[in-house]
Amino acid sequence: MNTIAIIGGGASGMMAAIFAARKGAKVLLLEQNDRLGKKILVTGNGRCNYTNTYQDTSCYRSEQPNFITQVLDQFPAEKVIAFFRELGIYPKDRNGYLYPYSDQASAIRDVLEQEVYRLGVDVRTGISCTGIQKTNERFSLQTSHGSLTVDQVILCNGSKAAPSTGSDGSGYTLARQLGHQIIPVLPALCALHCTGKHFRAIAGVRAQGKVSLFVDGELTAADTGELQLTAYGISGIPVFQISRYASKALYEQKEVVAMLDFLPEYSVDKVKILLKERANRQPEKTAEQFFTGLFHEKLATVWLKFAKIKKEKLCGNFTDADIQRLAWMIKEFKSPVIKTNSYEQAQICCGGVDTTQINPETMESRLVSGLYFAGELVDVDAICGGYNLTWAWASGYVAGAPPHLHNCLLLTCNQYLDDIL
């Protein structure tokens, strides 16, 4: 019977296992955690935003963007939705962001796991793969429970992000052992650490705004939404969306600056007019009271300090220079970035197995026949909104479903594997 070994039982691994089994292959799924799909449980704040009806190339990032399109075209969002409906997941649509109607991430994990077992996939948990080599057209795998020999392998080990869920970067080691190049793996979808003691004073503030990322003085990325200010820097969805560019720039030892705009819908000139009119309407109020009802008092205190305006100064005595300095505080709050949050706090990673060495039509290695890749292990990442899971579903499907699996041959295991099976 046709047999294939899949290393990693997360989103892409279960997807690959399901479609390989549906193609008639005998599938062995190895997962180092005690249960499949652990990372799925923490996605979407425990609700699992499993895909998005809005799809565009700008939602995905890679050194080779065209590679992503060729994979996603084979299993687009419409097929993702249909597939999960088939498994019993009715979608709850929140402006294109799709969640299981139960709002439980466990539902996604459970239906995948149920389908894996229904198809007779041989699931082995608590087993890690530490080495791989190919000899005589077969793969020899070294595991924590001994060694085994298989005909084909799909690596779905995940990245280094959120190691508490089992992502330890071991897949990169296995890929390197077979000659694959790894694009530097760095934290992404994470918060940024910035210089300045003032961040302690504004910690906890949430404000609508725009964050623009400048690398060596050039605008590299920008996003708008709710900004979260922390004791160490900046966070929130807009910051997450641009964080991969900060990671790469910092890795390359470039200067990185985040510019915060707290009134992105207004130009600097309009902000000056707004502030001047506000001061004229309330001339008896102090500078300390000036921003009440417009901005958080913690922000106001820091801005006044930077603008060198005493909090006792009356608004009616504001000079044009005072107004100008405050306007620039609001529109261009400069925050030099010194590092990102660690892998432990990152949702995903950017970087991974070089896609120039993978065939996007099959996800098969161009270097080693019979070796396939899927999921976060590959140099593909995406913005928040269900896109990273969409990539996991699509790449897992492509790696597991193509005709190559019709020709998988026999699985030969040595005595060590017999002991664990």
Same domain for 288 and 257, yes or no, is yes
Q: 335 and 203 in one domain?
A: yes
Q: What pLDDT score does 3 carry?
A: 80
Query: Token pair for residue 320?
Result: 């044009």
CATH code, 71:
3.50.50.60
Among 352, 380, 340, 386, residue whose Cα is nearest residue 242:
340
Checking if the pLDDT of 406 tops 70, the result is no
Q: What is the pTM of this model?
A: 0.92
Contact yes or no for 155/174 (Cβ under 8 A): yes
Query: Are residues 225 and 218 in contact, defined by beta-carbon separation less than 8 angstroms?
Result: no
Mean pLDDT of 390-405: 86
Same domain, 114 and 180: yes
pLDDT at 250: 98
Residue 2's pLDDT is 66
**Range(s) of the domain holding residue 269:** 191-340
Cβ count near 317 (within 10 Å): 11
Q: Is the pLDDT at 27 greater than 70, yes or no?
A: yes
Q: Are residues 324 and 356 in the same domain?
A: no
Domain final position from 305, 340, 375:
340
Query: Which CATH number is 311's domain given?
Result: 1.10.8.50
Assess whether 195 and 294 both reside in one domain: yes
Q: Is the torsion defined by CA of 76, 81, 82, 87 positive or negative?
A: positive
Are residues 379 and 336 part of one domain?
A: no
The predicted model gives 226-250 an average pLDDT of: 98
Contact 174, 132 (CB under 8 A): yes
Q: What's the pLDDT score for residue 346? A: 97
Name the domain boundary from 295, 310, 340.
340
Same domain, 316 and 363: no
Residue 408 has pLDDT above 70, yes or no: no
- For the chain, the domain total comes to 2
Structure confidence at residue 403 as a pLDDT band (50, 70, 90): low
CA 188 to chain centre: 6
Integer Cα distance of 320 and 326 in angstroms: 10
* φ/ψ (deg, to 5) at 207: -150, 140
Output the CA–CA distances (angstroms, integers) from residue 388 to 55, 125, 302, 315, in the order listed. Answer: 12, 24, 37, 49
Same domain, 153 and 71: yes
Q: In this predicted structure, what is the pLDDT of residue 416?
A: 30
How many angstroms separate the CA atoms of 373 and 171, rounded? 10
Amino acid 413: pLDDT: 33
Of 340, 366, 389, the residue at which a domain comes to its end is 340
pLDDT at 404 over 90: no
| Paired residues of 99 in beta bridges | 92
Q: Is residue 327 part of a domain?
A: yes
Banded model confidence at residue 407, pLDDT cuts 50, 70, 90: very low
| pLDDT at 332 exceeding the cut of 50 | yes
Does residue 138 belong to any structural domain of this protein?
yes
The pLDDT assigned to 318 comes to: 97
DSSP, res 212:
E
Quick one: which of 71, 3, 161, 135 has its CA closest to 358? Answer: 71
State the DSSP string of 46-77.
Answer: GT---EES---GGGEE-SSHHHHHHHHTTS-H
Average pLDDT over residues 345-361: 98
For 39-89, what is each residue's pLDDT tens digit? 999 999 999 999 999 999 999 999 999 999 999 999 999 999 999 999 999
Residues 24 and 167 in one domain: yes
Whose tokens are 């396939």? That residue is 372
Q: What spatial distance separates the first Cα and last Cα of the chain, rounded to whole Å?
A: 17
* Secondary structure percentages of the chain, helix, strand, coil, to 5: 40, 30, 35
Q: What percent of the chain has pLDDT over 90?
A: 93
Specify if 345 maps to a domain. no
> 203: helix, coil or strand?
coil
Angle, helix 11-22 to helix 105-118, in steps of 10 degrees: 30
In a domain, 224, yes or no: yes
Token look-up 């459970």 returns 110
Which two tokens mark 235? 């966070």
Average pLDDT of the chain?
Answer: 94
242 and 226 in a single domain? The answer is yes
Are residues 139 and 228 located together in one domain of the fold?
A: no
Q: Is 109 in the same domain as 225?
A: no
Q: What is the pLDDT of residues 273-316, one digit of tens each?
A: 999 999 999 999 999 999 999 999 999 999 999 999 999 999 99
